[in-house]
Amino acid sequence: MSCTSRTATAYGRRSGPSHDFDTNAISLKPRSTSSKTPHLSQSRVHSAPLTVRPRYVPPFSIQSQQKNTVVINGPINEATVSASARGKAPNPTAGRKDQKSITTFNVAVGSKTISPSASSIQCSTLFRMYFDRGDLPIKMEYLCGGDKIGWTVDIEKLDYSLYLPLFFDGLAETKHPYKTYARQGVTDLLLAGGDKIHPVIPQLILPLKNALSTRNLEVMCTTLKIIQQLVISSDMVGPGLVPFYRQLLPMFNAFKVKNLNCGDEIDYAQKNNMNLGDLIDETLQVLELHGGEDAFINIKYMVPTYESCYLN
């Protein structure tokens, strides 16, 4: 039996280890060259990339300046956590939510839009909630000359302390039919208000400020026209707005120089009166003319580039 095993190995018919069935042992013989384990060169071993797991560190710490670190639990839209949980890995779902909330307010410098769109950051206004519930005494009248709102109740019998701030809150709306009802409703209330408007002035400041803060061109121009109509509606409204210039005029100062520069072309849209810079100048002049003797100094404090219309 051993002779047969040696003969088969000599002629190359068996490449693996031969078994001796008499002793049940395995004869250890070298295998062929093709069955040997390939030798890895030293250069190939060193060229393999090494993946190092990043460390999660708390914000505003010395570790956040080191390499291979990831800052977690930042100050924007983050829940308060304990000191022991600050160095742990964040929840992936929470990270996606935080990233979405932060990138929503990213503004591209040099783009045409001066801010994120109003629809992306605007919450549902109180006017929209009342309108959707059907609590407003208005309806739409479709006439041949255009749409017009109709009042289901006599407008002189309305409670101005409730409905006037409510319709002013709708000035920030940009979608139909909310913006149509709000703007025409404010106009009708101011025309029929008279002496009822002055006691409600403190409640109108926050809706006006929110509408101007949308930075939407159409909303801002409409709000400026409403402010002019508000000041002219009663003799007591102009002086009553002077203490609230600090809430209203910062946006005036920011967009006072935003004029349309069309060169030698003709602006056919000037009949719409949607030039923001000119509207701000007109509104400041109306505030000075009807605001009393303290109006100019308060306007000058908030808008330093404004020049008095009395002196020019």
Domain edges within the chain: 124-302
Give residues with Cβ within 8 angstroms of 202, minimum separation 6: 244
Check residue 106 and give its pLDDT.
39
Check residue 149 and give its pLDDT.
84
In this prediction, the residues of the chain whose per-residue pLDDT falls under 50 are 1-5, 7-10, 12, 14-15, 18-24, 26, 45, 76-78, 95-121
Nearest to 173 by CA among 219, 207, 139, 229: 219
Check residue 270 and give its pLDDT.
78
Check residue 91 and give its pLDDT.
59
Check residue 205 and give its pLDDT.
94
